[in-house]
Amino acid sequence: MMVARVTNISDTIDKLKKEGLWICGTDINTDKYYYEQDLTGPIGIVIGNEGSGMSDKVTKKCDFLVKIPMLGKVTSLNASVSTGIVIYEVLKQRIQKK
């Protein structure tokens, strides 16, 4: 699994799409949960920051958005926790697909 940290996420998303990746963004304001989305193909995952999420520009560049179910008054998780949850689901789906 490749992990990248970049300075211009919008340009990077465009480059990844040209290489055939689907871009999955995480956003609390979407209807689809991460485990309802097919994550088995070539994919790039964008995690927003813990306070304000992703910018509108980055959100619009994503091919699809998913959210993590939240209980109580908490509206977001630590970015590393969110990343772990979504990546685990990617791996689980890929193993189940084999």
Domains and CATH numbers, the chain: 9-97 (3.40.1280.10)
Average pLDDT, the chain: 91
8, 61 Cβ separation under 8 angstroms: no
Confidence of residue 3 (pLDDT cuts 50, 70, 90): confident
> Which pLDDT score, from 0 to 100, does residue 61 have?
97
pTM of the predicted model over 0.85: yes
Whole-angstrom distance, CA of residue 65 vs CA of residue 59: 8
